[in-house]
Structure 1
Amino acid sequence: MALKTKVSIVIPTYNRSELLKTSLQSALAQDYPDFQVLVLDNASSDDTEAVVCSFADSRITYIRNETNIGMFRNWQRAIEVNSSPYLALLSDDDILLPNFIHESVLALDNHPDAGFSVAQAEIIDTNGVPVHMTGRELSDNFPEGSIDGLEFIHQIADGRKWILLCSAIVFRANALAMVGGIDAPHSKYMFDLNLYLRMAAQFDLFFIAKQLAQVRYHVEQDSQINFSFGGTGPLGVIAERTDAIAYLLKSPRAEDASYRQWLAERLLHISMRRSQFTSELIPELNLSWSERLRIAMQEITSVIPAGKRLILVDENQLGCEILPQFDALPFLEHEGQYWGAPLNDEIAIRELERMRQTGASFMLIAWPAFWWLDYYSGLRNYLSSNFCRVLDNSRLIVFDLSL
């Protein structure tokens, strides 16, 4: 199939001339016949202009802002200056593999209902060395091929951790125009997720099951700082997930009463998580740790009979020793000791059932581990479908495993 759709690769940049050189080289090395590269220099004070001009390639257009207009407005401008049907927004420190544009155009040409395509990307450090991602930094595996936009939003609301990396995406320009380009209603660091959700509310997505880009993670990135300890990044994510539920409520899916009930339950949990993050940033806003703990101890004894074996999910922050009147075991557990968080839902459910077989009759999830109910959505759904919640508040969620 001959691919003829013109593509713009737009690179917003600021004071990253060395990394920009590598990004430009990767853009120019595309094996696709018809593309242009636009570099939007946000008034850099280094040798960015000289680096761009050194390529002497007619496919490159260099545009310099007279003053620094900020990251958000420079990325807005990237969409404004585009004149091609398809647009790739490449971060100035990331790398495209040679067949990125070809595969992305093929996906969009063959799936006209898709507003954008998403390829797999390898995470690398400043020196180009692959980074092994673990835990909550690791994205869930993408599906392969076309996915309904509302299903994508549903999965995000459900807790699915699909981390879409902008440099691995190609947008359909008219779809971008229909949703109004980028916006930052909740956090200037979350405008990409905000855009993906707004587009998915109107268009399908296409996941390319090939690694076609390399994305750098390094400590000076605003996004990394924002998600470090004490950063406000999690609040932005929670706000976007709240919007995701709103998009689902406006969709035909919400005509089903049971689905509306599910959305309401997710909204209540996400809202509680938002307050939890807010309290970490503004400690005086809510009950202190010691106050929560005293109240929680009273609540536990009110719903669980003394002497019962229970599973405590608390990331080892409360500790089983605070419950001497119970036979309390940590989760995950190995020879009575805390063994860390499970790698996935399958392991969590398997271990839960193993502990049930040895006599555990309650599972107690304390507030330090409430994130589990998002991250391990399979475990959450398994618990909710098979067992009765006997307590559910902002401190504790308790399931009776004997029912």
Structure 2
Amino acid sequence: MDTIEVAIPTYNRDLFLDKLLRTVPPHIKISVSDNGSFVNEDLKSKYLNASFISHETVIEIFDNWNCAVENTSSEWVIMPSDDDVFLENAFAYINNYINRYPDAGVLIFGYQIIDEDDNVSEGWCPQQELIYDAPLGYEVFKYGVEARMPCIVFKSSVLKKLKYFDNHFELTASDSDLIQRVLLSSKSVFIPEIIGAYRVWKGNLTSQKIATKQWLDEIDYWQQKITTIAVENYLQIGKKLNPHQIVDEVYAINLLAGIANKRKTAGFNGAYDFFKSVRFPWHAKLKTKLRILKTLLLK
């Protein structure tokens, strides 16, 4: 069995896919799920370490992610989007920590942010090396997942047990949902090394959809599901959680971002109409609730 593979879902982005594939060492196997069968043959022939699963008919986003990862057979897997890239020596760092923590279920590194023109800005990175037994890694990302997929290495057996991505999601949170489920069910290691670059586009899906009821409904579905698992797993180690507070705090953080977005694009009236269309997170932290009201009412 190979130690690690790269699983990539792609959809009609050959230029960026090529950039990503060039950052994977040739001895590392790659599984590409080609949604809509857009990858050209010249690109495929360049990468002998990559296998391509083509879908003539376009499938749902997270079905495409699942297809890419289910086609792997290694002990570990990393799943970037097709427009992300790995940094130099990323796989040397990965192999080093795989050897140091063979019993872990997930290794979480840091990342840079790049835009559509490859301009680099600060992303996120653990401040120090931290190790948690299940389910306590969840504490790091209880109110939101700061890590991104090109910096997370998963134990394949853990993903298989958890049945990969939840394809109930359409807009958001399926990746965060999976990461939290892995943290709740396996040993996690946070590593202060940056191994990848996560691409953020102007006018991306988040900015388009965060101020919608559908977005917040998916946040609610995600948190109701995760806190149910978390409460049960924490009870097994004699600890208690307040699920109502966690659900509402995560909801409030997303509501706050949605209101801020609406204030910029549609002014007070647009923000207020959005605010009225969704529920209010009464169990969130007082500080977050006050920030929601301040953002809504003040310029």
The reply to whether TM is greater than 0.5 is yes
Residue 96 of structure 2 aligns to which amino acid in structure 1? L
Specify every segment of 5 or more residues in structure 1 that has no aligned partner in the other structure, as ranges.
134-138, 288-311, 320-337, 339-403
Shift in Å, 1:23: 0.7
Q: So what's the TM-score if we normalise by structure 2?
A: 0.77
The answer as to whether partners of 2:126 and 2:192 remain within 8 angstroms in 1 is no
Aligned to 1:263: 242
Shift in Å, 1:165: 0.4
Residue 210 (str. 1) matches residue 193 (str. 2): yes
The number of residue pairs the alignment matches comes to 275
Q: Using the alignment, how far apart are the partners of 1:316 and 1:226 within structure 2?
A: 18
Q: Using the alignment, how far apart are the partners of 1:206 and 1:264 within structure 2?
A: 25
Distance change in 2, residues 1:110/1:15 (3 Å): same
Q: How does 1:114-125 map to 2 (within 5 A)?
A: 114-125=104-115
Aligned to 1:309: none
Aligned to 1:28: 25
Q: How does 1:1-400 map to 2 (within 5 A)?
A: 5-28=2-25, 34-45=27-38, 48-55=39-46, 57-131=47-121, 141=126, 143-157=128-142, 159=143, 161-185=144-168, 187-219=170-202, 221-227=204-210, 229-230=211-212, 232-253=214-235, 260=240, 263=242, 266-267=245-246, 269-270=248-249, 273=252, 281=274, 283=276, 314-315=293-294, 317-318=296-297
Q: Using the alignment, how far apart are the partners of 2:250 and 2:13 within structure 1?
A: 38
Shift in Å, 1:16: 0.7
Q: Using the alignment, how far apart are the partners of 2:277 and 2:110 within structure 1?
A: 42
Distance change in 2, residues 1:107/1:238 (3 Å): farther
Post-superposition CA distance 1:313-350 (Å, at most 9, x none): 6536556xxxxxxxxxxxxxxxxxx9xxxxxxxxxxxx
Q: Using the alignment, how far apart are the partners of 1:249 and 1:190 within structure 2?
A: 19
The answer as to whether partners of 2:223 and 2:250 remain within 8 angstroms in 1 is no
Rg larger in structure: 1
Shift in Å, 1:76: 0.9
Residue 28 of structure 2 aligns to which amino acid in structure 1? F
Shift in Å, 1:255: 6.9
The answer as to whether partners of 2:109 and 2:194 remain within 8 angstroms in 1 is yes
Q: So what's the TM-score if we normalise by structure 1?
A: 0.59
Distance change in 2, residues 1:200/1:38 (3 Å): same
Residue 242 of structure 2 aligns to which amino acid in structure 1? L
Distance change in 2, residues 1:267/1:280 (3 Å): farther
Post-superposition CA distance 1:260-292 (Å, at most 9, x none): 4x51562574498499789965836679xxxxx
Shift in Å, 1:153: 1.8
The answer as to whether partners of 2:10 and 2:35 remain within 8 angstroms in 1 is yes
Specify every segment of 5 or more residues in structure 2 that has no aligned partner in the other structure, as ranges.
259-271, 281-289
Distance change in 2, residues 1:318/1:98 (3 Å): closer
* Counterpart secondary structure, 1:114: coil
Q: Using the alignment, how far apart are the partners of 2:251 and 2:174 within structure 1?
A: 23
Q: Could you tell which deviates more after superposition, 72-81 or 241-250?
A: 241-250
The answer as to whether partners of 1:140 and 1:162 remain within 8 angstroms in 2 is no
Q: Using the alignment, how far apart are the partners of 1:58 and 1:275 within structure 2?
A: 42
